Amino acid sequence: MKPGLKHFFDSMDAYLAGPPGAEGLSKLSASHPGWDVAPERMALYGQFVRGHVRSTLEKLFPFTRRAVTGEAWDALVEGYTRTRPGRHYELNRLGEGFAPFVADATEARGLPPFLPALARFEWTDFAVFASEEIIPERVEHLTPNPTLAVLEQPFQLCAFMRSQDRGAAPAAGDELALLWRHPEQLVTYYMAATPPALLVLKMAVEGLSEEAVVQATGMAAADVHAEVVRFAKDGLVLRPRE
């Protein structure tokens, strides 16, 4: 990158990370002597970028947004914007660092204790949906869905995300959440891990046959097969076509 272009991006980075208004504009102008740009136009640009950050966060983190009201949300968004997230051309990537930021800010800002886990869950939901992992149309053996993400969290968020009671908080309690993109419906599926789901995943990862699982566990062959079929239908694992 040419020095002049680098200087431009560095100065804009500092402007967007700094305080909005006259102070930020003054510092920007000072870094580019001779610029003849109307302050109103630069202020509009700053508002434009900050508005994109806010709208993107509110789209990607609707449950997190609902849990933080009024001025607390405004302060959280403004604080995050000053960490300079607005660099990527793909707007959704503006939210990539939001969950870690929430985790760092929760205690100091007196936010709900479940907020870091909730923000991480919502970002993972989107990241799985947008994953560039290729899901093969055909497999030769039982295979884990390549978009699968696993979250260990101290709140029961899977039930919370499905709840119709939007005013409630998620229940405390350790949870292992599984999230993956369905191969055909192309939406994110999620569930709290259960022994049958973990068993089928173990079969897929370790290449265990249904017969081997029957012998090792004493389960009925029909039950093992039914679990494999069920989780293949949900897309958690990929199963050879019969």
- What pLDDT, on the 0 to 100 scale, is given for residue 49? 66
Q: How confident is the model at residue 50 (pLDDT cuts 50, 70, 90)?
A: confident
CATH topology of domain 131-242: Outer Surface Protein A; domain 3 (3.90.930)
DSSP per residue, 17-37: HS-SSHHHHHHHHHTSTT---
Entry pTM: 0.82
Which pLDDT tens digit goes with each residue over 201-214?
999 999 999 999 99
Residues 6+ apart with CB under 8 A from 71: none
Q: Where in the chain is the domain with CATH 3.90.930.50?
A: 131-242
Average pLDDT over residues 95-116: 96
Residue 189 has pLDDT above 90, yes or no: yes
- What pLDDT, on the 0 to 100 scale, is given for residue 22? 52
| Distance between CA atoms of residues 98 and 61, nearest Å | 9
Task: Provide the residue type at 138 as one letter.
Answer: R
